[in-house]
Chain A
Amino acid sequence: MDKHLIPRGLKRSPFGRFFLWILLWAAVFGLGLYAMYLCLYKGLNQTNMDNRYAFGLWIYLDLTVIALGAGAFFTGFLLYVLRRDELRAVINSAVVLGFICYSGAIVVLMVDVGQPLRAWFTFWHPNVHSMLTEVTFCLTCYLTVLAIEYTPILLKSRKLSQIPSFLVFEHELHKAMIVLAGVGTFLSFFHQGSLGGMFGVMRGRPFAFREAFGIWPSTFFLFVLSAAAVGPSFIIVSTWLISQISKKTLVKKEVYILLARISGILLLIYVFFKAIDTLVWINSTVPSTGFSAFEFYVRQEFGTWILFTEIVLLGLLPAWMLLNQKRRQSLAWIIAAAFLTCAGVVVNRFVTTIQTLALPTLPFDQFLTYVPSWQEVATFAAVIAYGVLIYSLSFRYMKLFPQERELAAPPR
Chain B
Amino acid sequence: MDTKPGKSRYGMVIDIDRCNGCGACMVACAVENNVPPAETRATERTGITWLRVFKVDNGESFPENRAAFVPMPCQHCEHETPCVMVCPQNAIELDKQTGIVTQVPVRCLGCRYCMAACPYHVRYFNWWDPKWPQGMEKALNPEVAPRMRGVVEKCNFCHGRLQAARAKAAAAGERELKEGTYVPACVEVCPTSAITFGDLADENSEVAKLARDENSFRFLTRLETEPKVYYRSKQPFVRKFGESALERMKKEAANG
Chain A residues within 8 Å of B, Cβ to Cβ? 43-45, 49-55, 112-115, 118-119, 121-122, 124-127, 129-133, 135-136, 198, 201-206, 287-292, 295, 356-357, 361-365, 368
**In the bound complex, do residue A202 and residue B86 qualify as a contact, i.e. CB atoms below 8 Å apart?**
yes
Q: CA separation between A198 and B149, bound complex, in Å? A: 24
Please classify how large the interface on chain B is, using the bins under 10, 10 to 19, 20 to 34, 35 or more: 35 or more
Partner pick for B117 among A125, A205, A363, CB 8 A cutoff: A205
User: With contacts A114-B151, A121-B107, A204-B82 known, is A364 near B54, CB below 8 A?
Assistant: yes
Could you list which residues of chain B lie within 8 angstroms of chain A, going by C-beta atoms? 39, 41, 43, 45-47, 54, 56, 70, 80, 82, 84-91, 107-113, 115-121, 123-129, 148-152, 219-225, 240-241, 243-249
In the complex with contacts A206-B223, A291-B245, A45-B127 CB distance below 8 A: yes
A49: chain B residues at CB < 8 Å are 112
- Cα distance A54–B224 in the bound complex, in angstroms: 23
Q: Total A-B residue pairs with C-beta atoms closer than 8 Å?
A: 178
Structural contact, B88 and A115, CB atoms closer than 8 A: no
Pair A125/B107 contact, Cβ less than 8 Å: yes
Complex CA gap A291/B249 in Å reads 9
A126 touches B116 (CB 8 A): no
Q: Identify the closest chain B residue to A52 (Cβ).
A: B45
A113-B111, A114-B109 are contacts. A43–B150 as well, Cβ < 8 Å?
Answer: yes
A15 shortest CB reach to chain B, Å:
43
* Residue in contact with B121 in the complex, picked from A44, A52, A125, CB distance below 8 Å: A52
Known: A43-B149, A133-B88. A291 touches B117 (CB 8 A): no
Q: With A and B bound together, what is the CA distance between A393 and B8 in angstroms?
A: 63
A291-B244 contact in complex given A54-B116, A203-B223, C-beta closer than 8 Å: yes
Tell me the minimal C-beta distance from B226 to chain A in angstroms: 11
Among residues of A, the one whose C-beta sits closest to the C-beta of B43 is: A50
CB contact between B46 and one of A50, A55, A119, A204 (< 8 Å): that residue: A50
Q: How far is the CA of A201 from the CA of B113 in the complex (A)?
A: 12
Contact A114 B225, CB 8 Å, known A121-B89, A364-B54: no
B123 touches which of A51, A126, A127 (Cβ 8 Å): A51
Q: Are B41 and A203 in contact (CB under 8 A)?
A: no
B222 & A290 in contact (Cβ 8 Å cutoff): yes
The reply to whether A45 and B46 contact each other, CB–CB distance below 8 Å, is yes
Point out the residue from B82, B110, B240 that lies within 8 Å of A202, measured CB to CB. B82
Please report the C-alpha to C-alpha distance between residue A356 and residue B118 in the assembled complex, in whole angstroms.
Answer: 12
**Among all A-B residue pairs, the 6 with the closest Cβ atoms:** A114-B110, A114-B150, A290-B244, A290-B222, A204-B119, A50-B45
Known: A43-B129, A127-B85, A290-B220. 20 other contacts (CB 8 A): A43-B128, A50-B46, A50-B127, A53-B45, A54-B116, A112-B111, A113-B111, A114-B108, A115-B110, A124-B89, A126-B90, A129-B84, A129-B85, A132-B86, A201-B85, A205-B119, A290-B243, A290-B245, A291-B222, A361-B121
